[in-house]
Amino acid sequence: MPTMSALRSSPHFAPLFAHVFVLCWPILVWQLNRFYSWTIREGIHDALYSVNRWGWLTVHYLGDREDPAAYKPLPRIFRPLTDASYASDLPANLATSESLKAVLPLSRAAGEVAPKGPEGALPSQRFNTS
């Protein structure tokens, strides 16, 4: 069984000693050693417990060893960024944002924004989506 100094210097149990009053540390050591020997004897591999300010340990959950035959999902595999599926169909000279800003005003200046209707008719309210 571990001693009080060994438990107190362990990174797993140091927060418990910081939480418990100094005069109650022997109670905490006694509770932790008792709980440790009980889990070894019963074959318990996972436990969720809490400790109050006086060193008393309360067990909230006990778990068994993981079943090796249990379903485990396949790990997600991400494609590297050099994969060809990430490539763009946009030509290299249009790929920069500066060239895209220049292309939009030129396309409007070259043609009409909305098609003309018959002479004398009111302009259509529908937009050309072709």
- Position 37 in a domain: yes
- Position 128 in a domain: no
pLDDT per position as a tens digit, 2-48: 788 888 888 888 999 999 999 999 999 999 999 999 999 988 888 99
- Position 22 in a domain: yes
Domain extent, residue 29, equals 4-63
Write down the pTM of the prediction.
0.50
- Position 39 in a domain: yes
Q: Is the pLDDT of residue 89 over 60?
A: yes
- Position 78 in a domain: no
Amino acid of residue 95: A
- 101 vs 76, more confident: 76
- Position 104 in a domain: no
Long-range contacts of 99-108 (CB under 8 A, 24+ apart): none
Given pLDDT bands bounded at 50, 70 and 90, which one contains residue 116?
Answer: low
- Position 52 in a domain: yes
- Number of folded domains in the chain? 1
Residues 6 or more apart whose Cβ sits within 8 Å of residue 44: 38, 62, 63, 64
- Position 53 in a domain: yes
Strand positions, DSSP E, the chain: 46-51, 57-63
